[in-house]
Amino acid sequence: MQMQDQSQTSEPTKECYRCGRQLPADAKTCPVCGRRQYRICYCGNRIPVNTAECPHCGADWSDSTRVKRKKSRSSRLNSAALLRSAGIGAVIALVIAGLFNIFITYFATIGVQGEALPDDFFGLLDMASVGLRRVAAAWWQAALTRRGSILAFAICLAVGAGIGAVASLAKVATRKLGRRSKRGSSRRRSSRSK
């Protein structure tokens, strides 16, 4: 009996840092709470979780805190979300189809110029392309007769775009300069304190 007691006590053990259960010294996880009993140091070696300093590289772990990991989302299929997404997709498809129908009918009406609209879809599509060409030709003619006003409009657009680009670049530059000055002032403070 005494020999068995001695052999049991001679095995090195350690406590789980979380639940306090006695574990073999080489245990990697606790069988009760499932917590890992080591951490990976900056140098790449495994060290016990409750070690304040890495014995391999001397890294200080005394102020380290454990970070809670976010629980991963389940990969199971959520039928309610799937049904909601399918319904939203169906509504969007109906709206797009309705707008497309309005667009095609409008330009087909311009294309036939007072005649009856074709009954089949492809005839309607063909007349819509004729109507679209007529509208584009009318816009081109209007642009040619008003060259001066269009040129002034284009110049205004170019100047506005240039001002917007310069303002955006100036904003980025001031941010970068602000960061540099903050870094420089903290470096100056730390060198003064030493």
> Residue 111 and residue 117: Cα distance in Å, rounded?
9
3-class SS at 141?
A: helix
Is 142 exposed, middle or buried, given 0-12, 13-18 or 19+ CB atoms closer than 10 A?
A: exposed
Is 37 exposed, middle or buried, given 0-12, 13-18 or 19+ CB atoms closer than 10 A?
A: buried
In DSSP terms, which residues pair with 47 in a beta bridge?
A: 39
CB 109 within 8 A of CB 131: yes
Show the low-confidence residues of the chain (pLDDT under 50).
Answer: 1-7, 186-194
> Residue 175 and residue 169: Cα distance in Å, rounded?
10
**Predicted local distance difference test score (pLDDT) of residue 7:** 47
Which two structure tokens, joined as six digits, stand for 179? 């960061």
- Locate the DSSP E strands across 21-180: 22-24, 38-40, 46-48
Domain boundaries, the chain: 11-65, 81-145, 147-194
Whether this model's pTM surpasses 0.85 = no
**Predicted local distance difference test score (pLDDT) of residue 6:** 46
CB 184 within 8 A of CB 192: no
> Residue 62 and residue 6: Cα distance in Å, rounded?
35
> Residue 37 and residue 119: Cα distance in Å, rounded?
77
